[in-house]
């Protein structure tokens, strides 16, 4: 069981007001509640200034485990990975 990298798909994410953690993902017409944030990776220093920093969240939903990226410069969320076998408990 491994995370499958996918072509980044832009999504809308509702995040917590205070800590910025994703709470709900809207993917096309489907809403997925985030049941658990598994991990957070801050990649502030990993990118050139032109591209800008990003933060990666690995989250569990009722459908699958997803890798979400948030690009700080453009303020956009995208799904970059999916593992349907590892469903939330």
CA-CA distances (angstroms) from residue 42 to 32, 52, 57?
23, 12, 9
Identify the band that residue 88 occupies on the pLDDT scale cut at 50, 70 and 90. very low
> How far is 41 from 75, CA to CA, in rounded Å?
17
Question: Is it the case that residue 89 has pLDDT exceeding 80?
Answer: no
pLDDT tens readout for residues 42-74 = 887 777 777 778 899 999 999 889 999 998 888
Question: Is it the case that residue 7 has pLDDT exceeding 90?
Answer: no
CA-CA distances (angstroms) from residue 46 to 6, 55, 61, 72, 74?
21, 10, 28, 13, 16
């Amino acid at each position: 069981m491994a995370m499958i990298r996918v072509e980044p798909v832009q999504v809308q994410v509702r995040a917590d007001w205070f800590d910025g953690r994703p709470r709900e993902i809207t993917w096309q017409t489907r809403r997925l509640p985030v049941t658990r944030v598994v991990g957070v990776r801050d990649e502030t220093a990993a990118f050139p200034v032109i591209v800008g920093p990003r933060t990666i969240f690995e989250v569990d939903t009722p459908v699958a485990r997803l890798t979400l990226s948030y690009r700080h410069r453009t303020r956009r969320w995208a799904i970059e990975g999916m593992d349907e076998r590892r469903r939330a408990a």
